[in-house]
Structures are given as C-alpha cells and as structure tokens.
Amino acid sequence: MSLEITERLEVLRDEALNTADFGPDAGGAEVFDAILSRVARTSETAPGLDMSLREALNRRLAWGENASAITVDGESVCKRLLAAVLRSFRDPEDTARVVVIIAEVSCTAASHLARNAVQRASKERALQRREMMVQRQLAAALGQQDELIQSYSTELKS
Amino acid sequence: MPTSPRVMTDRALEVDASGKTDVGLLRSENQDCIFVDQAQGFYVVLDGMGGHQGGATASRVARDVMVETIAQGRETWPPGKLLVEACKAAGSAVHLQARADRELHGMGTTVVALAMPRVNQALIAHVGDSRAYLLRKGRLRRLTADHTIVAELVSAGKLTPEQAIDHPHASVLSRNLGGLQTTEVDLLEVELEEADRLLLCSDGLNGYATRNAIEQVLSGAATPEEATTDLIELAKRGGGGDNISAVVVEIGRASSELPETIEETGAGAWWSRRPLFMEVCRSMGLGTSPLASSLTEADALDLLGGSFCEAMYLDLEGTTGIHIWTYADSLVKAWFERDGRYGPVKELFDVLRAAALSVAKDVSRSDEDLGVCLEIALLRALIVGEMVVGGQISECIKVANETFASRRVTTDLPDATFANVATVPFSPTESPMPVGPEVNKCLADGAGAAKEQLGGDEYLMLHAIIDAAHSSASEFCGEADMSAAAIDLYGTRLLTEQEINPLLDGLETARVAHLAAVDALQVSPVARATALCALALAHQSLFHAFALVAVDAGKPTTDRLREMNASTSLMRARLERNEQHLAHFEVDIDTVEDLQS
C-alpha cells in the first residue's frame, strides 16, 4: 500500500489513541502501530508483524495489566481509527483496504488475548494438579504428626 | 485595508456587526477562525480540521489569504467573482502548505464568507458545513446547503431528510478548502431588507443548538454583540462539544420593539396578575407536586409557583433569561440528584406554561398588542427553563454512561501489582457508514457467497459466525453488541486449547471468507467500501467479545488456584507448628527420663 496512505494514517494517531484524554502513553498503541506496519509492510513480513504485536501484548500482560482491559483498549482504538478513516479518506478503494487491515489487526490482537487466556487456564489447571498433590503429601505428613503427638502425649501422661 | 467605492457604496442604512469565537467545553484548541470588517462589509467564519495544529493553521491561513485577495482584487473583479476567487485562493494556499509540511498533512477548513457591496445586497460564498442564516421578521431561514456526503445523498434522493437528521455521518464533508488544489465554491446572492439579521456560524453552534433556539436567541437579542454572546452560550449549554463561532450582521434597525414594550409595561402587567397565576397553579395541583413533597401544599405552591413568578418578573424587567435559568437549574438539579424522574418535571413545566399563558390571555383582553408581546416573552422564558432541564438530563446520561463504562472495563485481579483499570474507557463511537438498500444487497450476497464457500465439519459454526456478523452489519452498521453472539458461540465448552482454538480458527476463517466474498462482488466502490466497513466492524466486535468471554471463563480457574495456594500455605504453617510441638514433646520426655534415671 502506498506510503501516502501510511502517512495519512499516522496523522490520525492522536485521534485513534485519544491522546488528548489519555496522554502520550494511551493504551492500545501496540494495535495502532501494528496497523501502521501492516499498511506500510515495507520490510517486515506478516508473521513478523504478528510477532511484534504479540510481544507487545505479552509485555502488557507481563506487567500485570488486565487482559480484559487490554482487549477493550484495542477495540476502542480500532473503532476510533475506523471512524477517523471513514471521515478523512475519500477514495472508497483506499478506505476499503485500510478498513480490512484494521479489522485484521484488531482480530489478531483479540485472538491472541483469547489464546493467552486459554494457555493461562491450562497452566493454572496444571498448577492446581500440582497443588493437589502437594496438599495430599502435606495431609499425610500432618496425619503422621498428629499420631506422633498423640503417642507423645500418652507417654508423658503415663 | 483601502476603502473602495465599489464595495460599500451605500451607507445610508446602518449596519451593525459582531463576531465571536469560542473554544467550547470539550476541545483544548480553537480551530475556528473569524474575520469581521464592518467598514468593508466583509465577514468570514472558518472551521479548521485536520488533527493537532492542522485545523487551526488551515483556518488562519485561509482567512489571511482571503483578506489579502479581497484587498488586492477589489478594483479588478466584481464582488461575487472576487469572493469566489478569494475562497479558491485560500483553498489553494492551504493545500500547498499541507503538502509542504508533513505535520500539517490532511488539514483543511470550511468557510462561509459574506460580502456586502451594498447594504441591501449580501453575497455569500461557502464551502463545507459552516452555515449562513437569515432572520427576517422573526423567522430564521437557512441560506446555505451543507457540503456533506449526507446532504448530497439527500439531494440525489438516496436519503430522506428525516433519515439525514439522525444520520451517524451527518458531519462527513464532501468539500473543504485545502483538501484539493482547486475547490468548487457555492455563491448566492440575497436581497436584504431593513431589520434583517444575517448569521454566519460554524457547526459548533448549529450542531449543539436547535434551529428554534437559534431563532429565539437571534431575534430576542438587542444587539448583534448580545446575539453572538448568547448564541455561544446557547451552544455551550447544549453541550459545547465543538469550537463555536458566530458572526451576526444587522441591517438597519433590527431590534424589535418587543423588549422595550415588555420592559416598560409587560413586567408590571405580569406582576399585577400574580394572584391569577398562583390560582391557576393551585387549581392544577402544583402544591402537590412530588418536587416539593416534603412541604405543605401552601409552601410548595409558594416555592414552585411563587419563585417562578418572581423570576419571570425579574427577567421580563431586564429582558434576560437568567432568573428563569437559575430557578430551573436549582430546582431540577436538586430533583435529579435525589434520583427524581423526568415525569414530575414535565408536569411542572406544563402547569407553569398553562398558568403563564392564562396571564397573557388576561392581559390581551385589555391590551391585545401587549398580550401578544407578553405571550412571546413568556414562551421564550419557558424555553430557557426547558433547555435547563435538557442540560440536566444530558448530565445524568453522561454520568450513567461513565458508570456503565467503568463497570464494563474495570475487572479485578486483587493481587495484581499494577492498577487494573483500562487506559481507554469504552466510549460509543459513530457508526461507520449508512447501510442503504444497495449495501444491504451487497451484504446479503456476500454472506450467501461466503457460506457456499465454507463447508466441512465445522460448517454449522462458520455459518453461525457469518450470520451473526451479517445481522450486525446490516441492521446496526456493525455496531451491535456481540456479547450474546460470543456467549452462544462459546456454549458449554471448556477453556482448553482443544475446544477453544478451533473456535478462534473458525472466527478467523469466517471473517476472511466473508470479507473476501464481499470484496469480490461487482458493485459500486462506495457500496463495497461501506459493506466491508460494516462487516469488518462486526467481525472485530465479535472477536473482541469472544476474547472477553474467554478471559472471563478463565477467572474461576485463577480464583480456585489462588484458594488452593492459600490452603497449601495454611497446611505448611500447621506442619511447621506441629514440628515445633513435637520438638517440645521430645524435650519434655527427655527431661522426664532424666529425672526418672
């Protein structure tokens, strides 16, 4: 896609991220950057772009941000960008191409967050199983301790 | 600027003008720009657009170029041609500057310009959605047609005026100064009469105030300066969501005799009929209004009716609306703060209107002219009061929206190190584009074609996804809440890779096939773009809704693990305590054995 379209999207950054309200570090910047990269697609490959987006999302998750909040951020940015594109682009062909890319990136982000939730659930189920095993061992040890305490107590009384 | 005999030849009638521009209540920067030159009879309102700095730069560049072109070309071109050329030169200058500076790329501006070569002749040039109105004999008439996509669709008969009113893209421009190297400029000529008032304004005014309210304010103001101040205040009270600009030009003696009549005798006539007003209020049950339920009937009547009567007298005496404004504001605000409903407020205003009109009718019996003037003044004051109610209701809706948004985005992870609040809260955005018959057909054909392509074992799921997206796109421009569809899709599945990943793959497959099917249709580019946009929005909403469902589905597992961790910790602590206990026992037993030996 032409460089001109990339530039026209770049000028919509503030509007898409709503930096007027949320400042320069507004959430969802990773989604906007991925859309720009996808539109430009100069040197990076599509899987490469996916990786960048996923890494950015993983970083936010790793910093303790809530997956629901990240999902809502991404959706809001895409919606605002979509509205801005429809208002500012005149050529329907350009508009259609950009709209399809916005949806693609937006869905990639949502899909990644959903898959991340699945992975996290799998991991937590495994941790639950480990925890159950530990608890069984602890219960056995506690049982033995109780018996010993009981016998010591009897011994002392006698 | 030199005075030319060609422009402004007739100064027998007085022309008074005033212009004001205001940033509004929500924007941080004023991108509007005005120019008022009463001596030369030249007035402009420009509304810039195009991101940070771009909008303000565009409107200012355009204004300067127009002023300069008018000054230079006055001797060579006829006024109409000169005005159009000035607009075109301004558009060209903005366009060139936007191309030269990357930061300003995409900037543009609307313009509505008025030149008055003679006092009774108005030439109006305009591009975009800034407007010109004419107030003649108390009636407001719009002179310009907006250059918006929606207006063009209405002109082409593809949309009805009723559909255009609530159209989500009513403000999308089809023309502006700066978007292209050359711009088509509309020019119209109006023969003016004495007492006419012309209003030039940006969409920050007409977008936030009704035509009736503008008419009332413009006809009620004593001077153009008062009119511009009141109009800006009116737009602010209507929300003030955009920059507001207004230029009012008055030809001859426009001020009506109404204010003087009312001030001189109307206020007195009103006050002298206070008992009549109160009696009507009492008979209509104002004393038992829920708005003053804690008071006795007499006190309630005095509070609601007596205060209104006094406020109206003070407003009539000064021909302002501030006392009625204060009366309604304090009363309604307190009511809504107590979670009061709209019904009793409406009833209150119905009673006040009926009682006020009965007073005006009584005045008419003795002095018909005064009665008519008083009736107009009373109705204007009541409109002010109702505007206050509207403002308070919009405040309540805003608060409810914010509460709803915070509930939607605030999810809890108690042990998280960082604040779990969304950085971008949910805010309703505009629908993408209109979904007309052609687009609907396009969507239906696309859905059918996509379903035909998608077979295999998963076809039921894929078809369900396409149906959900199609329904949202065709009925709600893709804006429908897809939570229910996402929950249906999720069904009773477990949150495992085996069960969820096929669903996510299905969502992706259906989305790609659906968009590709629409993209491949042989339809007009605009219809295709509109359909693709609505579909893209629908699919992305479904994806996000599904992601939220998946995240929510994982929460019980997280909670259960947290409980188990806590329980394990307790067991470990108990084990440790028992170890200490046993150690004490061993010491005691050793001591006893030592004593025994």
> pLDDT by residue (tens digit) across B187-201?
999 988 888 899 999
Label residue B405 by pLDDT band (50, 70, 90): low
State how far the Cα of B310 lies from the Cα of B263, in Å rounded to an integer. Answer: 15
Label residue B6 by pLDDT band (50, 70, 90): very low
Instruction: Let me know: does B98 contact B50? Beta carbons within 8 Å.
Output: yes
Question: Looking at beta carbons, which residues of chain A come within 8 Å of B511?
Answer: 103, 107
Q: How far is B22 from chain A (nearest CA, A)?
A: 18
φ/ψ of residue B186, rounded to 5: -90, 135
State how far the Cα of B34 lies from the Cα of B111, in Å rounded to an integer. Answer: 10
Average pLDDT for B45-53: 80
φ/ψ of residue B251, rounded to 5: -105, 125
Instruction: Let me know: does B293 contact B321? Beta carbons within 8 Å.
Output: no
φ/ψ of residue B17, rounded to 5: -140, 155
Substitution target in B150, B408, B410, B424 with the highest count of A β-carbons within 10 Å is B424
Centre a 10 Å sphere on the Cβ of residue B433 and count the other Cβ atoms it contains: 27
Task: Enumerate the β-bridge partners of residue B246.
Answer: B20, B201
For residue B175, pLDDT over 80 is answered with yes
- Nearest-by-CA chain A residue for B29: A20
Give the tokens for residue A152: 């010591």
Average pLDDT for B102-125: 87
Question: Cα-Cα-Cα-Cα dihedral of B346, B347, B351, B352, to 10°?
Answer: -30
Task: Quote the strand ranges of B449-518, DSSP E.
Answer: none
DSSP B239-302: T--S-EEEEEEEESS---SHHHHIIIIIHHHHHHTHHHHHHHHHHTTGGG-GGGTTS-HHHHHI
Cα distances (Å, whole numbers) of residue B356 to A110, A152, B281, B297, B385? 59, 97, 9, 20, 13
For residue B3, pLDDT over 60 is answered with no
Q: How many CB pairs under 8 A join A and B?
A: 239
Which of the residue ranges A16-30, B273-287, B327-341, B396-410 has the most confident prediction, judged by mean pLDDT? B273-287
For residue A95, pLDDT over 50 is answered with yes
pLDDT of residue B86: 92
How many degrees, rounded to 5, is the angle at CA A5 between CA B62 and CA A45? 160
For residue B21, pLDDT over 70 is answered with yes
CATH of domain B15-147+179-253: 3.60.40.10
Of A74, A120, A148, nearest to B554 by CB-CB distance is A120
pLDDT of residue A82: 86
Task: Quote the strand ranges of B365-449, DSSP E.
Answer: none
- Of B159-173, B183-197, B294-308, the one with minimum mean pLDDT is B159-173
Of A12, A64, A71, nearest to B417 by CB-CB distance is A64
Question: Looking at beta carbons, which residues of chain B come within 8 Å of A144?
Answer: none
Cβ contacts of residue B477 below 8 Å, gap of 6+?
A: B168, B431, B432, B433, B434, B435, B534, B537
The number of residues making up chain A comes to 158
Question: Looking at beta carbons, which residues of chain B come within 8 Å of A148?
Answer: 582
Give the three-state DSSP class for B117: strand
Indicate the domain borders of chain B. Answer: 15-147+179-253, 259-407, 437-560
State how far the Cα of B180 lies from the Cα of B108, in Å rounded to an integer. Answer: 9
pLDDT of residue A42: 54
For residue B417, pLDDT over 60 is answered with no
Substitution target in B504, B537, B543 with the highest count of A β-carbons within 10 Å is B543
Label residue B422 by pLDDT band (50, 70, 90): very low
Q: How far is B143 from chain A (nearest CA, A)?
A: 25
Question: Looking at beta carbons, which residues of chain B come within 8 Å of A90?
Answer: 179
Centre a 10 Å sphere on the Cβ of residue A50 and count the other Cβ atoms it contains: 18
Give tens-digit pLDDT for A48-62: 567 788 888 888 888
pLDDT of residue B249: 93
User: With 0-12 CB in 10 A as exposed, 13-18 as middle and 19+ as buried, what is B576?
Assistant: exposed
For residue A126, pLDDT over 80 is answered with yes
DSSP state of B304: I
For residue B541, pLDDT over 60 is answered with yes
Centre a 10 Å sphere on the Cβ of residue B227 and count the other Cβ atoms it contains: 26
Q: How far is B122 from chain A (nearest CA, A)?
A: 32
CATH of domain A3-124: 1.10.490
CATH of domain B259-407: 1.10.490
Distance of CA B19 to the CA centre of its chain: 23
Q: A14 and B589: CB-CB below 8 Å?
A: no
- Nearest-by-CA chain A residue for B537: A103
Instruction: Let me know: does B159 contact B140? Beta carbons within 8 Å.
Output: no
pLDDT of residue A137: 94
